[in-house]
Amino acid sequence: MSQTCKVFHREDGLVHVATVRIPEGFSTDEALEYAYRWTQNIEGSWSMKIGADANDNVDVELPLHERNGKVYGLRSSMLYDVIELDGKDRYTVDFIGFRPAV
């Protein structure tokens, strides 16, 4: 069974922004890194599925922002955001890697 990560951004509390299906055989650290990488805007937009940041394993769980008729994607995951692995263990994005969320 493949793993699933839910990605939560800290915005006035935790907001579920993405669900990421993890490829088979990934360790916990690899799964967290995968979810983090594919919720980054590096060469496009992960949430708008543009450029090299588009990944079909990522489901966007929050509506995109619209202002003055223009649609904007969601921000990248960053320090202190939270990733939940398989609906049970939560990890906080740390300065280097991840730590168990409290």
Mean pLDDT split into 10-residue runs, the chain, 102 residues: 92 96 96 98 97 98 94 97 96 97 88
Which tokens sit at 92? 């906080």
Q: Which helix (H) or strand (E) holds 36?
A: helix 28-37
Q: Which helix (H) or strand (E) holds 35?
A: helix 28-37
Helices (H) and strands (E) in the chain, counts: 1, 10
What is residue 24's predicted lDDT score, i.e. its pLDDT?
94
**Dihedral angle sign, alpha carbons of residues 53, 7, 98, 13:** positive
